[in-house]
């Protein structure tokens, strides 16, 4: 419903002139503190919201931020990127326009143009998983921030998870619990017959190695497996690790689904978690982490925080003058009962 409160209503309530109200709404400096506060109190009391159309005409801004996603809206946890972006937008009286482009470059180009036609003040481009991306050329015609992805030449600002930090703290949690033989079932993805050097794969492995090194434990390749993330492959690698002549006393899993397969293998062997073996996952998918017994210790991918950071960056005018950066966000450890 259209807001019926007018500037004159506010002026009458605050006992000031309409010019004073207009100055306060436009953050004009020549208003006394007393009158400014009276106007602000009136705005709150009357629940006044200025017309977006009037705002557009007055300031030349649309109050819109575009969000382009690559299947993010279909995943159970990455949708938090949108939630974080929306929180910051809402607090700044902005509205999100959201479009899911899937894997289609043509759709991406078309949707960027749709956003530009609606004069968005910036665009957040978010992906389902952390990787480098090739972007629609039109994105370079508007202020753009990348979330959960980056461009190789770092020509655009981006916010991504610190995969190294996640792998390091997952392994260190197990080391601090007294484990010295720690298996790692890492992720793996092959495209056109070529393994992809995804940041989650390479970064977490480096973090795993760093934590072992700090405890003077030599890296043992026989304790590392790579899974295509199918339930069958996850199960096979967990079983292989436990069949070693000297099996691990703990397993760090590249995601929570892998951890779920480990639980199944451990149960088949008649062992108990964490008494006989400890498990740490990654992602913090609540349906898994809180559904397993015992509940799963895991790392939280900072999707919500990435969404917030991206919009905050867009709305800070000083960032237009800064060299683009790739900002790393920590993956917090969520302690439960599997370690």
CATH number of the domain where residue 286 is located: 3.40.50.2300
Task: Tell me: do 157 and 174 sit in the same domain.
Answer: no
Q: φ, ψ for residue 131 (rounded to 5)?
A: -165, 170
CATH of the domain at 30: 1.10.260.40
Task: Tell me: do 194 and 279 sit in the same domain.
Answer: yes
List the alpha helices (DSSP H) in 218-285.
231-242, 256-268
Distances in Å between the alpha carbon of 239 and those of 86, 248, 267, 268? 43, 11, 11, 10
Q: Is residue 105 part of a domain?
A: yes
More confident residue, 294 or 107: 294
Q: Is residue 270 part of a domain?
A: yes
Task: Tell me: do 109 and 90 sit in the same domain.
Answer: yes
**Given pLDDT bands bounded at 50, 70 and 90, which one contains residue 26?**
low
Number of structural domains found in the chain = 3
Task: Tell me: do 168 and 289 sit in the same domain.
Answer: yes
Cα 106–110–115 angle (5° rounding)?
145
Q: Which of 3-12, 45-54, 88-97, 147-156 has the lowest mean pLDDT?
A: 45-54
Task: Tell me: do 268 and 210 sit in the same domain.
Answer: yes
Residue 328 DSSP SS3: strand
Q: Is residue 336 part of a domain?
A: no
- Residue 5 burial by Cβ neighbours in a 10 Å radius (0-12, 13-18, 19+): middle
Q: What is the pLDDT of residues 199-224, one digit of tens each?
A: 999 999 999 999 999 999 999 999 99
Task: Tell me: do 156 and 168 sit in the same domain.
Answer: no
Q: Is residue 59 part of a domain?
A: no
Q: Is residue 117 part of a domain?
A: yes
Question: What pLDDT score was predicted for residue 184?
Answer: 98
**Over 90: is that where the pLDDT of 288 sits?**
yes
Owning domain of residue 226: 163-299
Q: Is residue 286 part of a domain?
A: yes
Instruction: Return all residues near 49 (Cβ < 8 A) that are at least 6 apart.
Output: 3
Task: Tell me: do 286 and 169 sit in the same domain.
Answer: yes
Task: Tell me: do 172 and 287 sit in the same domain.
Answer: yes
């Amino acid at each position: 419903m259209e807001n019926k409160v007018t500037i004159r209503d506010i002026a009458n309530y605050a006992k000031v002139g309409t010019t004073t109200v207009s100055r306060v709404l436009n953050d004009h400096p020549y208003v006394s503190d007393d009158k400014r506060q009276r106007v602000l109190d009136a705005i709150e009391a009357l629940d006044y919201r200025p017309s977006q159309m009037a705002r557009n005409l007055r300031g030349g801004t649309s109050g819109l931020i575009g969000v382009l996603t690559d299947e993010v809206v279909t995943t159970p946890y990455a949708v938090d990127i949108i939630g974080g972006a929306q929180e910051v937008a809402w607090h700044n009286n902005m509205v999100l326009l959201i479009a899911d482009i899937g894997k289609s470059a043509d759709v991406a180009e078309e949707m960027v143009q749709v956003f530009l036609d609606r004069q968005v003040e910036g665009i957040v481009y978010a992906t389902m998983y952390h990787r480098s991306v090739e972007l629609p050329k039109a994105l370079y015609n508007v202020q753009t921030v990348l979330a959960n992805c980056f461009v190789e030449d770092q020509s655009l600002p981006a916010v991504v998870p610190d995969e190294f930090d996640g792998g390091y703290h997952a392994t260190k949690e197990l080391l601090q619990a007294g484990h010295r033989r720690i298996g790692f079932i890492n992720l793996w993805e092959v495209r056109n017959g070529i393994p992809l050097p995804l940041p989650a794969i390479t970064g977490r492995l480096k973090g795993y190695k760093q934590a072992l090194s700090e405890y003077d434990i030599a890296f043992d390749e026989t304790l590392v497996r790579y899974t295509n993330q199918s339930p069958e492959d996850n199960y096979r690698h967990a079983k292989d690790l436990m069949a070693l002549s000297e099996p691990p006393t703990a397993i760090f899993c590249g995601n929570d689904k892998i951890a779920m397969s480990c639980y199944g293998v451990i149960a088949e062997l008649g062992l108990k978690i964490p008494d006989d073996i400890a498990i740490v996952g990654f992602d913090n998918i609540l349906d898994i982490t809180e559904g397993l017994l015992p509940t799963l210790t895991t790392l939280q991918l900072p999707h919500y925080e990435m969404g917030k950071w991206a919009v905050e960056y867009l709305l800070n005018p000083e960032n237009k003058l800064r060299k683009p950066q790739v900002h790393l966000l920590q993956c917090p450890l969520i302690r439960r009962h599997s370690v």
